[in-house]
Amino acid sequence: MKVGGSAGFFYKYAHTENRAIQTDIMFRYLTSEFKNQSTGETADYRYFGIELPVYLMLQAEIDNQTLYLGMGPFTSFGISSYYKSTFRSIELYEEDPISGKATMNRWDYGVGFIIGYELKCRLQFNFNYHLGFRNMVGGGFEDMDMISQLVGLGVGYRF
């Protein structure tokens, strides 16, 4: 696992004083490292995509500050996905000319969790975790599994 980054927007609709629905649109850049155990070759995996989580939130106000906890589904769409090693560079969403299938699936879906705190000045700090349900490995590699997981620390501001 390596470090990545994300930026985006969120909208929170307060259904009641203690419940809300929040949806985000996040642009994510993620990196990871592969190592072939038999050859020792290492490679980088780079991903850029858009993610749309929808959280059902519970929130509590404490001295004009808000503690919140949420859970809900997410979907993501991969814009680019690269495998890059010393010997090769592969765009994983390109279809193989022989099989007609891409090595990786562009679409993912799963469940996300968020916990955070909003200060009086509307500055927010949160921790989130997303677990994908779909095997991201596709054409020709169906015997392999790659399930997406994301751990994030966020800072935001509510206008």
- 5-157 CATH pick, 2.60.120, 2.10.25, 1.10.287, 2.40.160: 2.40.160
93 burial level (CB within 10 Å; 0-12, 13-18, 19+): middle
Q: What are phi and psi of 38, to 5 degrees?
A: -80, -35
* Per-residue model confidence (pLDDT) at position 49: 97
Q: Are 85 and 43 in contact (CB under 8 A)?
A: yes
Averaged pLDDT of the chain: 91
CA distance 49 to 105: 12
* Per-residue model confidence (pLDDT) at position 70: 98
CA dihedral 150, 155, 157, 158 (to 10 degrees): 40
> Does the pTM of the predicted model rise above 0.75?
yes
What residue ranges of the chain have pLDDT lower than 70?
Answer: 1, 139-142
* Per-residue model confidence (pLDDT) at position 33: 86
* Per-residue model confidence (pLDDT) at position 142: 66
CA distance 25 to 94: 25
DSSP 159: -
* Per-residue model confidence (pLDDT) at position 85: 85
* Per-residue model confidence (pLDDT) at position 32: 86
Give me the residue spans of the domains in the chain.
5-157
Q: How many CB atoms lie within 10 A of CB 138?
A: 21
CA distance 74 to 82: 22
Scanning the structure block, which residue is given the tokens 């004083």? 17
